[in-house]
Amino acid sequence: MAYSFDFSSLADYAPVLVKGVAITVELIGVGGALGVTLGIACAWAKTQGPRWLRPLVEAYVELIRNTPFLIQLFFIFFGLPAIGVGLTEMQAAILAMVINLGAYACEIIRAGIEATPKGQFEAGASLAMSRLQTFRHVVLVPALQKIWPALSSQIVIVMFGSAVCSQISVEELTFAANFIQSRTFRAFEAYIVATVLYLALAVLVRQVMRGIGALVFPRRSVAR
């Protein structure tokens, strides 16, 4: 049976799609920034932090990396109110993304830190820097620079994961596509458009990350 595509019926719903894209961007913008921050904190705790903190971070990372994002999201949105922590859909979605990305970012950034030669730490110490100062100025930035591409990929993966947030009625891109297909019965077209938009968003995220990288990381000076 032949199926004739009809994208024209989607045109009326362009504002819905635009809103969906905007909310997905908001999710990944806020979730990405906070998630990477959490990842840096956890990577510090795992490599330099107090000994008692390490098993806790380890447990957090393992628990998150070995359970589906959907269950994490449902646990936060449906489960936490049962113990008195009520969150709006948007708050729950962002919290879930931060916690999820934090765990993956922790592992990625830790790998970068562990690839830093020991001499760097010693050089920092010999300049009378505190451990935290050494971490901040000497270790962290080159470590981030090394793993920046991997971190960018992880953020894109988390953005793809954010499609699931439609299930708790966050009105992001997938929600918009669901809404449109329920109105027009043009499921194939709606999801194709959404998929193409996700592709474009992935390119955008990578470009933004590249831009941030170019701003934050000093060019390697060639003086030897």
Partner 1 sequence: MTAFSTWDIVSNLLLAARWTVLLSLLAFVVGGVVGLVVLYARIARKAWLRRAAGLYIELFQGTPLLMQLFLIFFGLPLMGLDVSPWAAAFVSLTLWSSAFLAEIWRGCVESIPKGQWEASSSLAMSFVEQLRYVILPQSMRIAVPPTVGFSVQVVKGTALTSIIGFVELSKAATIITNATFEPFTVYGFAALIYFALCWPLSKSSQILERKLNVAHHHH
d(CA 62, CA 158): 17
Judged by CB, which is closer to partner 1: 67, or 169? 67
The least CB distance from residue 168 to partner 1, in Å, is 11
Q: With binding defined as CB under 8 A, does residue 80 bind partner 1?
A: yes
Rule CB under 8 A: which of 56-75 touch partner 1? 62-63, 65-72, 74-75
Per-residue x/- marks for partner 1, 166-185, CB under 8 A?
Answer: -x------x--x---x----
- Name which position in 7, 55, 56, 79 contacts partner 1 (CB under 8 A): 79
d(CA 28, CA 36): 11
Q: With binding defined as CB under 8 A, does residue 7 bind partner 1?
A: no
Q: With the C-alpha atoms ordered 31, 71, 162, 17, is the resulting torsion angle positive or negative?
A: negative
- Name which position in 28, 202, 205, 209 contacts partner 1 (CB under 8 A): 202
Q: With binding defined as CB under 8 A, does residue 163 bind partner 1?
A: yes
Please say whether the beta carbons of 93 and 78 come within 8 A. Answer: no
Instruction: Give pairs for 73-78: CB < 8 Å, separation 24+.
Output: 73/164, 73/165, 73/167, 73/168, 74/167, 74/168, 77/168
